[in-house]
Amino acid sequence: MDGLLQGQQRGQYVARMFGRIAARYDLLNRFMSLGQDQRWRRRMAALAEVPAQGLVLDLATGTGDVALAVLERSPDAQVVGADFALPMMQVGQRKQMGEQGLSFVGADALALPFHNMQFDALLHAFLMRNIADIASGFREQWRVLKPGGRVVCLEIVGPEASLIRSVYHLFFETIVPRVGALISGDAQAYSYLPQSVLRFPAPDTLSQMMREAGFAQVRYERVMLGTIAIHVGEKPRAS
């Protein structure tokens, strides 16, 4: 992907790419995370602090793993899984297994089809590195979140320790593209991944972007030897 396309071109490219790899996406996630990704999603659900009978948006839901983690923790919640890669959501619907608290809708993260202040909590994993305008994405999330609600954001980031950083670069730049191409049959998709990760803002920079979008009490924690950051922000209540 030449220079990581911008704007509408990038969105279309990413949607097609995830559509092509949808059938093997969960398997590849297990491989790339060394089997830890479900644990991270459960941590996201805990950090969201969903209120009783809360309405939750899982943005860039993909195959629905974050949405299902929320419902595992908060069975009385109603979760909307939104994504613009429809084949990914079709996989999620097959995994749903009669779960009544989950519905899926096609949506663009930069122009969400939801009302202002509609959701009690909003979560997303591996979204922000795939959108053309991170600042606009956070502003749109702020718009649809109720005052007092939390946004929880999970992304791959560069580790701080130099030794781990060397292994990290080897893994994402060499091993992931090769194994990803082998399993998914799509070499292009898994050469895009390291490009998007390496160009993504550092956790402190992302925190500042969240604050500039209007979120308060912004903080983050690192997991997986510092290679995953989970950010949390709150939409202030009206004074």
CATH, range 7-158+201-234: 3.40.50.150
pLDDT in tens, the chain (239 residues): 444 545 567 778 788 888 888 888 888 888 888 889 999 999 999 999 999 999 999 999 999 999 999 999 999 999 999 999 999 999 999 887 777 899 999 999 999 999 999 999 999 999 999 998 999 999 999 999 999 999 999 999 988 888 888 888 888 788 888 887 887 777 777 778 778 888 899 999 999 999 999 999 999 999 998 999 999 999 999 74
pLDDT for the residue numbered 163: 83
pLDDT at 7: 53
pTM (two decimals): 0.90
pLDDT in tens, 189-225: 777 877 888 889 999 999 999 999 999 999 999 999 8
Contacts 24+ apart (CB under 8 A), 23-27: 23/87, 23/91, 24/183, 24/184, 25/62, 25/63, 25/88, 25/91, 26/63, 26/65, 26/91, 27/183
